[in-house]
């Protein structure tokens, strides 16, 4: 197998050219409409966006249809101003007994109480997140750990499994994909998919420090593209893929994330090489599983 693009030397132009061309051909509004982020788009107030966004992102596991169904059900209960609703204990209790896979009973009311606590303390979830950023790190991984810790503390003692599941902690070995996804929505500039919410709140955020939300599709395609050779779907792998993409787009490494992810979700990119599907693949020219082009610069 060819080497990673992370090594010094070879031109990155073929990869950048291919991925940029791929992005140009992507129907982003259509992708956005089919993505859980579409549930957050109806909210115009940044406070509502950050609350609705965190709720949707944390429920974003399992089948997409189920995610959308249950997240929409929870949002509907909270009404048109979720940031106000979660500050009201009675309104939070209307979600007592909400069930989605691991969540049940008091999980959602307690989770929302934690969000309300952080917003009351810091003014916004964005400010709470940045308060835990120790600085000095090229990415937001340390701030993510601090944010998960703050949420966990605010949720109180004796957390149920379902409640702990809503608070991803990359320190425990995972990639904190749902938190990375939420941060992408909040921190990348508004582009019809991501929302730029925290900039709208006047917070100083840096898209260059985001970590890619690592799901099975990004992991697999990242390996195909030579962005990583790591087998474990953990935070280190997400960071390695992000660093590789940052060599293509230093100020906005996650610009390719949604399109690459949907290449996998849609089934267009199979788990094993499929000559028919690979033949029509828009990024085949730089895929280590597809046919390599003669000018592929990342060979051994």
Positions in the binding site for ligand SF4 (CB under 6 A): 221, 224, 269, 273, 277-278, 281, 283-284, 287, 289-290
- Give residue 139's Cα distance to chain centre: 14
Based on CB atoms, which residue is closest to ligand SF4, 191 or 279? 279
**115-131 residues labelled b (16+ CB within 10 A) or e (exposed):** bbbbbeebebbbbbbbe
- DSSP helix/strand/coil, 198: helix
Q: How far is the CB of 223 from ligand SF4 (least distance, A)?
A: 10
Based on CB atoms, which residue is closest to ligand SF4, 188 or 220? 220
Q: How far is the CB of 14 from ligand SF4 (least distance, A)?
A: 14
d(CA 242, CA 214): 10
Concatenated DSSP letters for 265-297?
HTTSS-SS--HHHHHT-TTGGG-SSSPPPTT-T
Concatenated DSSP letters for 172-191?
GTS--HHHHHHHHHHHSPPS
Q: Which of 27, 67, 50, 69 has the alpha carbon at shortest distance from 195?
A: 50
Q: What are phi and psi of 91, to 5 degrees?
A: -65, -40
Q: How far is the CB of 159 from ligand SF4 (least distance, A)?
A: 39
Q: How far is the CB of 180 from ligand SF4 (least distance, A)?
A: 21
Based on CB atoms, which residue is closest to ligand SF4, 82 or 290? 290
Q: How far is the CB of 64 from ligand SF4 (least distance, A)?
A: 20
d(CA 62, CA 68): 10
Based on CB atoms, which residue is closest to ligand SF4, 61 or 296? 296
Burial of 102 (0-12, 13-18, 19+ CB in 10 A): middle
Q: How far is the CB of 35 from ligand SF4 (least distance, A)?
A: 20
Based on CB atoms, which residue is closest to ligand SF4, 29 or 293? 293
Based on CB atoms, which residue is closest to ligand SF4, 70 or 284? 284
């Amino acid at each position: 197998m060819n080497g990673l693009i992370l090594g010094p030397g070879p031109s990155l132009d073929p990869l950048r050219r291919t991925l940029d061309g791929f992005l140009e051909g992507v129907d982003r509004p259509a992708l956005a409409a089919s993505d859980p982020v579409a549930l957050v788009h109806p909210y115009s107030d940044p406070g509502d966006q950050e609350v609705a966004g965190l709720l949707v992102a944390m429920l974003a596991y399992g089948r997409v249809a189920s995610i959308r169904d249950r997240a929409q059900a929870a949002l509907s209960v909270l009404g048109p101003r979720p940031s106000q609703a979660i500050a009201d204990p009675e309104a939070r209790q209307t979600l007592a007994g909400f069930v989605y896979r691991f969540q049940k009973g008091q999980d959602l009311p307690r989770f929302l109480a934690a969000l309300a606590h952080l917003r009351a303390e810091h003014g916004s979830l964005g400010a709470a997140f940045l308060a835990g950023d120790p600085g000095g790190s090229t990415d937001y991984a340390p701030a993510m750990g601090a944010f998960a810790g703050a949420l966990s503390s605010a949720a109180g003692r004796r957390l149920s499994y379902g409640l702990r599941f809503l608070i991803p902690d990359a320190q425990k070995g995972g990639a904190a994909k749902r938190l990375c996804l939420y941060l992408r929505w909040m921190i990348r500039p508004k582009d019809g998919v991501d929302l730029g919410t925290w900039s709208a709140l006047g917070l100083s955020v840096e898209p260059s420090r985001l970590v890619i939300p690592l799901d099975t599709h990004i992991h697999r395609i990242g390996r195909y593209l030579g962005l990583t050779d790591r087998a474990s779907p953990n935070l280190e792998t997400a960071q390695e893929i992000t660093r590789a993409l940052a060599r293509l787009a230093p100020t906005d490494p996650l610009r390719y994330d949604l399109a690459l992810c949907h290449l996998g979700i849609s089934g267009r990119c199979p788990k094993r090489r499929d000559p028919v599907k690979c033949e029509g693949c828009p990024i085949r020219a730089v895929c280590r599983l597809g046919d390599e082009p003669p000018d592929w610069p990342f060979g051994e």
